[in-house]
Amino acid sequence: MRNLPIATALLAALALGGCATVPQQLAGQNFNAITPQIAARQDVHGDRVRWGGNIVAVVPQADKTCFEILSRELFSDARPRPRSQSSGRFIACGNGFYDPELYKKDREITVTGTLAGTQKHPVGGYDYTYAMVDADNIYLWPVRTAEDRRGAWPYYYDPFWGPWGPYWGGGWWTPPVVIVRPPPPKH
The domains found in the chain, sorted by start residue, are 21-142 (2.40.50.140), 144-173 (no CATH)
What is the predicted pLDDT for the residue at 19? Answer: 54
What is the predicted pLDDT for the residue at 178? Answer: 62
Closest CA to 51 of 20, 81, 24: 81
Q: Which residues on neighbouring strands pair with residue 116, listed in sequence order?
A: 45
Helices and strands in the chain: count of H runs, count of E runs: 3, 5
- What are the pLDDT digits (tens) for 138-178? 999 999 876 555 444 444 445 555 554 554 444 444 555 56
Average pLDDT over residues 97-104: 95
Instruction: Name, in order, each residue with C-beta under 8 angstroms of 134's C-beta and a sequence gap of 6 or more.
Output: 93, 113, 114, 115, 116
Lowest mean pLDDT among 19-23, 31-35, 109-113: 19-23
Report the DSSP pairing between strands 64-72 and 108-123. unpaired
Entry pTM = 0.69
Average pLDDT over residues 52-69: 96
In angstroms, the CA 134 to CA 113 distance is 5
In angstroms, the CA 131 to CA 116 distance is 8
The one-letter amino acid at 129: T
Q: Is the pLDDT of residue 9 over 60?
A: no
What does the DSSP 8-state code read for residue 80? B
Our CA dihedral for 6, 10, 15, 18, rounded to 10 degrees, sits at 170
Q: Which residues on neighbouring strands pair with residue 35, listed in sequence order?
A: none
